[in-house]
A and B are shown apart, each in its own frame.
Chain A
Amino acid sequence: MKQPPLTIPTTIDVPATAKRLCKNGTPIYIIDCPEYEVVRVSFVFHAGTITQKHPFTASATANMLAEGSKELTSQQIAEKLDYYGSYFDINIDRDYSYITFCSLAKFFPQTAEVIEQIILHPTFPESEVATYCNKRSQQLSIERRKVETRAREHFAKAIFGENHPYGISYPESEYANLTRNHLEEHYKERYTAQNCMVVCSGHIYPNILEEIVSITEQLPSTGLLYSQPIPPFESCHEKMIQHDGAVQSSIRMGRLLFSRTHEDFIPMQVLSTVLGGYFGSRLMQNLRERSGFTYGVFSAMVNFQHTGYLAIATQVGTEVTQEALNQIAHEIEILRNNPIPEDELNLVKNIMAGEMMRILDGPFGIADVTTENILCGFDNSHINDNLQRIRNTTSEELLALAQKYLCTDDMVTVVVGDFNA
């Protein structure tokens, strides 16, 4: 039967975001979606790993927030949240920490009592810190037996510099030196009004908003704004890391570029999608579909507060490692020498539009996009601006960008595998 006609969306409807400024200066962003009887609230702190003074402090502080407070033990916190079917989620990246709570709207008041304890009154009990350090150190040592993990860590070092705060990683033995004092100090400096913003979504009844305001307004205004200058980045060209017994090699290739606020970020996102950002991408066609070298290969633009990079990642059979590297280089050369055909570019544009619509389906996804926009200094009008920017990207522009940014001499390559096999 014949293919049905298509409709391509040109704008995306996003519910309006309201903003409320608390007395202590912390902004709360509100996305009210009354058709869902759930609530999600995220506290975002400028407390990522670059702000830590001692290895593992930033992640340990975030992860230990719920492990004991002034009024509740870790057991009681977990118990109270579980009892109402509420949960929380802690995420941390190099720049920020994200503490997110979800509950049924009808149980939000009970959940808020626990949120208050977690965000405002954590005590980091000695014994809980010890348990955590043991557990994490063991998990990390397991993770580091995977070529994948090691490639990720070595790639960050290769892109930013061995000791750069965006690139550095630490031996798991450093967990032995971590104490509750490190966590407490980090918490006092970073988990404050100036370093925080709050984003909530779902059915935000007036009393729910008041609960959120009341917690947020208790954040102290005594903290330090993070003002350390970012040291210069020092990329190295290549790292080949031996991993005995690996049956696959993990490959990372890419280069340092810029953050989302840069005018070329969106077109570079289009370019990286063409290269390896979807199932039928050029790298997927080559390495998976035609060669059967790998289960998957991906490329993406990765955003940090102060910079960003392009990365290509894959795992391939040990015996085809060099050939896979050659094929990746070959695909990049094609992008530098030939304009992308119109059909292919249109396809990629539609994929990216669909991707945005999918993320924005449901109240929690809208909150995620809003958070990301605010952190980059945008508001949600940026969503439709982005969509326009993607639509307006041309093959000529992408050819020029590939020539400018994807020069072999600027690329960083990391391989972790068994080179003696």
Chain B
Amino acid sequence: MITYKQTTLSNGLTIIANRDRASAMAAINLLYKVGARNEQPHRTGLAHLFEHLMFRGTHNVPVFDTPVQMACGENNAFTNNDYTDFYITLPTDNIETALWLESDRMTGLNLSHEACEIEKRVVIEEFRQRYLNQPYGDLNMLLRALVYKEHPYRWATIGLTPQHIEQATDEEIAEFYRRFYHPSNAILSVSADIEPERVFELGEKWFGHIKDSSHPIAPIPVEPEQTEARTQIVERDVPATTITIAFHMGNRLSEDFFLGDMTSDLLAGGDSARLYERLIKRKRLFASVNAYISGDVDCGMFVFTGQLLPTTTEEQALQAFQEEMEELRQGKISEYEIEKVKNKFEANTLFGELNVMNKAINLGYYSMIGDLGLINREVTIYRSLTAEQVAAFARRIFRNENLSTLIYRAKQ
């Protein structure tokens, strides 16, 4: 249970505060409601590039990291398809340093030609290191492109190609800043041993003067319903073939999300789960296997993936996935199994509340998806789900017309 209070400043900035009496550290999280899904198809990778640029300094603070570090703090950020998140942890006494820095870079970012050019090179190297120079590095890109035809989830956060980043103009970058980086598109969440009212005062002090520049945010294309199975086969210089299959499912606030999460836990939540136990240990078909949901804000994916042992054929692997889905569709799920995934969910929730940083990040996230109270309701929601609901989910989602198959074949 995470206690919190929230308020909204007159410029639209949402502030959420959690008091943690045990920690000497404060966590300050600033979430901007912009991710790769807000990009244009001809200019992908911009949200992630922008996350990098946010560390390029401002007129007041030429080097962002230095004052954080002088305050014994640490900061980092991440971007995904839905949002961009910045967080700082530092000794509680220095919390105003973090607020000062975040308010400063919400308006005064250095977007000089030189800064943009250097950061573009860094991001292109990241592209090469993590996606091109890595066995299986492009697997997720291929999967997205196969599953999504219209929705911007069809590209990964890094973007469709390094050229998009290379060719981004200074004006496009400046426009991105104006459009997405302003108070009403942001959420400030704080976890520390400080009274929430005091956090709100500090929020007003450091952010209250910033003018909002409400740009309408373009609607995001909707993915049309898939009507027939899709298959793609690629050959790469990798040691083992990997087979991935994916299905469309509902969005983060739909019942699908909880049922999908629970189904993926039944299949792959730990070493006692079905896939590991059956497909790795008993049938010895895979070297590794997993099932997961993408967990996006808009309608997401349910994914099975496995790396084949050299003795396994592609047909055997696909057949094994089909058999697992069939069992679920038929409702062969014991009460015991259901109870187990519920216990596990509860324990993981508690393990995730042990430090201020996780709490601040989570508060920002739940506020962004549009249901902050869900942060404390989820355990109860999971507790209420039944085996029959999971089976109905499996029947609705695991259909051939909803299936995409990616065979990432090892070159002989």
Contacts and interface: CB of A to CB of B under 8 A. Distances in A.
Contact of A361 (B23, B97, B133): B23
Interface in B346-365: 346-348, 350-351, 354-356
Interface stretch (B244-252, B265-273, B397-405): B265-273
Interface stretch (B33-41, B173-181, B216-224, B337-345): B337-345
B106 to A, nearest CB: 12
A280 B66 contact: yes
Nearest to B307: A138
A197 to B, nearest CB: 24
A257 interface: no
A358 B89 contact: yes
Q: How large is the interface on B (under 10, 10 to 19, 20 to 34, 35 or more residues)?
A: 35 or more
B373 interface: no
Interface in A123-159: 128, 131, 134-135, 138-139, 141-142, 145-147
Contacts of A147: 133
B390 interface: no
A83 B339 contact: yes
Interface string A352-373: 0111011001111000000000
Given A38-B351, A246-B133, A134 B69 contact: no
A417 B306 CA distance: 29
Given A82-B271, A347-B70, A139 B287 contact: yes
Given A104-B347, A145-B239, A81 B354 contact: no
Nearest to A142: B239
A247 B133 contact: yes
| Chain A: interface size category | 35 or more
A103 B347 contact: yes
Interface string B64-106: 0111011111100000000000000111011011001001100
Interface in B259-313: 269-273, 276-277, 280-281, 284, 287-288, 307, 309
Contact of A6 (B65, B97, B239): B97
A7 B240 CA distance: 54
B206 interface: yes
A75 B277 contact: yes
A207 interface: no
B72 A353 contact: yes
Interface stretch (A179-187, A288-296, A395-403): A288-296
A361 B118 CA distance: 35
A247 B131 CA distance: 11
A9 B122 contact: no
A288 B65 CA distance: 14
A36 interface: yes
B234 interface: no
Interface string A274-311: 00001110000000111011110000000000000000
Interface string A32-65: 0101111000000000000000000000000000
Contacts of A351: 69, 72
Nearest to A33: B22
A35 B238 CA distance: 48
A8 interface: yes
Given A85-B347, A292-B121, A350-B72, A134 B91 contact: no
A363 B23 CA distance: 11
Which interface residue of A8, A103, A364 has the most chain B CB atoms within 10 A? A8
B309 A138 contact: yes
A131 B354 contact: no
A82 B66 contact: no
B63 interface: yes
A354 B90 contact: yes
Given A142-B238, A355-B74, A361-B23, A280 B281 contact: no
A142 B136 CA distance: 10
Given A8-B72, A354-B72, A145 B96 contact: no
B213 interface: no
Given A75-B277, A84-B343, A146-B134, A278 B94 contact: no
Given A4-B97, A8-B72, A83-B339, A279 B239 contact: no
A86 interface: yes
A4 B90 CA distance: 14
Contact of B270 (A87, A135, A279): A87
A1 interface: yes
Interface in A360-397: 361-364
B354 A364 contact: yes
B340 A38 contact: no
B281 A74 contact: yes
Nearest to B73: A354
Contacts of B356: 361
Contact of B128 (A8, A84, A248, A350): A248
A79 B339 CA distance: 12
Contacts of A199: none
B350 A37 contact: yes
A100 interface: no
A347 B66 contact: yes
A355 B72 CA distance: 7
A35 B22 contact: yes
B388 interface: no
Contact of B206 (A1, A102, A363): A1
Nearest to B132: A247
A354 B354 contact: no
Contacts of B309: 134, 138
Nearest to A365: B355
B255 interface: no
A358 B273 contact: no
A235 to B, nearest CB: 28
A82 B269 contact: yes
B113 to A, nearest CB: 14
Contacts of A241: none
Given A78-B272, A355-B74, A36 B93 contact: no
A3 interface: yes
B153 to A, nearest CB: 24
B24 A361 contact: yes
Interface string B120-147: 0110011011101111000000000000
A165 B277 CA distance: 35
Nearest to B269: A82
A216 interface: no
Q: Which 6 A-B pairs have the closest CB atoms?
A: A85-B347, A354-B72, A292-B121, A78-B272, A4-B96, A78-B271
